[in-house]
Structure 1
């Protein structure tokens, strides 16, 4: 989609620090991390959000990318959080489906790491 920053990253038009990539998804480090690990998992095809009729194979590719990110950052055993903001009221600022993978430190019961 024209003007979408995540489409630009997925198409390698905008630089990013890529953690994982395959033919359907790209995972890259967030520029404003809220945890030691803060990686965004984004489908290369544009979908506005999680309820935008996303094909099952795309969601499966995103889940696989989460696993690869956790392995790459060594957080698969200690635990991590996956968040999908859907819509303005949820705080979705880029209207391209993406999952936040947070970890690398104790996150506590809230949505952000303890003390933040």
Structure 2
């Protein structure tokens, strides 16, 4: 998609701290971190919102990748939060689905 920041990261046009990459997904640190550990997992295919997702296997890959990276980064055992925002009222600011993984501190509820 034209002008999508995440598509530009996937293509290598914008640099990011890449934590994981395979043929379907990419994980990288969030430049606007909201926790000591905060990274995003995105599909390499442009999908605008969770409402547009149709591939159950791909959606599962996002969660499995987040767990794998959390383990590699050493905070999986203490715990973490996975969040996927959808559209404006849900807090989505980039129109390319992305799963936030936040850890390294106690999470509170409700989130806001």
* TM-score category, normalised to shorter length: over 0.9
Q: CA deviation at 1:60?
A: 2.0
Q: TM-score, normalised by structure 1?
A: 0.90
Structure 1 residue ranges without an equivalent (≥5)? none
Is the partner of 1:111 in helix, strand or coil? coil
Is the partner of 2:50 in helix, strand or coil? coil
Matched, 1:104 2:104: yes
RMSD over equivalenced CA pairs, Å = 1.3
Q: CA deviation at 1:27?
A: 0.5
Residue 25 of structure 2 corresponds to 25
Kindly report which structure 2 residues correspond to 1:1-116, keeping only aligned pairs within 5 A, or say none.
Answer: 1-111=1-111
Q: Which has the higher helix share?
A: 2
Deviates more, 1:81-90 or 1:69-78: 69-78
Distance 1:93 1:53 in 2: 17
- Contact conserved, 1:11 with 1:44, CA < 8 A, in 2? no
Runs (4+) off by over 3 Å: none
What is the count of residue pairs matched by the alignment?
112
Structure 2 residue ranges without an equivalent (≥5)? none
Distance 2:67 2:33 in 1: 19
